[in-house]
Structure 1
Amino acid sequence: MRRSDAAMRLAAALLFAGTAAPALAQSGQQAQGQGQTSSSGFQFGGDGPIEIESDKLEVRDHDNIAIFTGNVQLVQGKLLLKTVKMTVYYKNSGGGGSDNAQVDHMEAEGKVYIKQNDQVATGDQGTYDMGTGVLVLTGKEVVLTQGDNVVVGCKFVSNSKTGQSKLDGCGKGGDSGRIKMLLQPGSQSN
């Protein structure tokens, strides 16, 4: 049981040390169909304490996963993540202790909401791969906001290692569709 607790703490720490930076592209730089931009995104304090709350936690040590379900809320500094279910996949790097567990990737399902300062990203599902630094947020609508500026699409991909982000529109049957953007005059998009 002690191993599971330590593995969960490590998983959460690693997850949020690297996730937020790529989470939001600057909304004013997206155009139509598919947009690419360099992302300033959320700023994470990787050393800050992480608080995770949920209605239920299930740890499957043999499968190297931890599943948080029901009103999941993660807070680190000014960063807030809310979702219905969050699964953290971790791997042991040898040595047999939970201190050697490292997060491989995580999945969030059901009304994913990420907020820091005036930046918000929402979608139906989200994944983050620690190795590649790639965040993917998908859904019927993925909404990215910063202040009063809003960009809507259906698939947001952001790479924290390259600083590149892409938002795909909501097309049907293989068509990439179009993204929607609303920019408010005088609004800051930093």
Structure 2
Amino acid sequence: MTKTAFLAGLAALTLIAFPGSGDAQSRGGSADAPISFGANSGEYAGDTVTLRGAAELTQGQNRFRADQISGLNTRGGDSRIEARGNVYFVTPTQTIKGDNAVYTTANDQIVVTGDVILTQGQNVLTGSRLTYNVRTESARIEGGSGQGGRIRGVFYPQSNGN
């Protein structure tokens, strides 16, 4: 594989990592920001780019990191990114942590599985599977066998200054 082919594949992965026109991106001021990446190693094979070892994609204030991140471009222009091990998706207002994640650009959804933790400020929600829409910032969480099939959460009411 040539250096040019590797860099082209890496560019394709970074371009698919974050939605370019979604409302969530615009609110975070990230839609027009450059996309940067880092990892201990990377490879490009066919239509797939893989970053290994402290892999990270950053655009503006949004960050997606994991032990390994792989991206695949489909013929229809949609893409699929898979992250494995110590997954974090961080926006200016929320942090999602899990064991594995799959981000699909066709529907702007990230499905995070394993020991899932969603935090927003002091609020915390845990479960085994989280489906999060990056554009609408909506989330659905499910419990699993590790927590007796239940989800758990702690929410702090907003103070009105009284």
What is the TM-score normalised by the length of structure 1? 0.70
* 2:145 aligned counterpart, secondary structure: coil
The CA distance in 2 between the partners of 1:78 and 1:10, in whole Å, is: 20
Q: Does 1:148 align with 2:97?
A: no
Indicate if the aligned counterparts of 1:21 and 1:44 stay in contact, CA closer than 8 A: no
Contact 2:16–2:79, Cα closer than 8 Å, also in 1? no
Residue 8 (structure 2) aligns with? 6
Which residue does the alignment assign to 1:37? none
Structure 2 unmatched runs, 5+: none
User: Using the alignment, how far apart are the partners of 2:29 and 2:113 within structure 1?
Assistant: 22
| Aligned-partner residue type, residue 54 of structure 1 | A
- Cα distance in 2 for partners of 1:76, 1:164 equals 20
2:107 partner SS: coil
Alignment of 1:177 onto 2:160:
no
* Misfit runs of 4+, over 6 Å: none
CA distance 1:146–1:137, shift in 2 (3 Å): same
Matched residue, 2:96: 121
Cα distance change on mapping 1:21 and 1:137 into 2, 3 Å: farther
Query: Contact 1:17/1:47 (CA < 8 Å) preserved in 2?
Result: no
> 1:160 deviation in Å?
4.8
Aligned residues: 157
One-letter amino acid of the structure 1 residue matched with residue 149 of structure 2: G
Aligned match of 1:32: none
Normalised by the length of structure 2, the TM-score is: 0.81
Q: What are the Cα deviations for residues 103-155 of structure 1, in whole angstroms up to 9, with x where unaligned?
A: 5201000010122224111000000112233210001x200001111001110
Q: 2:44 maps to which residue?
A: 59
Output the amino acid matched with 1:150: V
Give distance in 2, aligned partners of 1:14 and 1:21: 16
Unpaired stretches in structure 1, ≥5 consecutive residues:
23-39, 94-101
Query: Taking structure 1 as reference, are residues 116 and 131 closer, same or farther at Cα in structure 2, changes over 3 Å only?
Result: closer
Q: Which residue of 1 aligns with 2:19?
A: 17
CA distance in 2, matches of 1:81, 1:161: 15
Q: Secondary structure at the match of 1:17?
A: coil
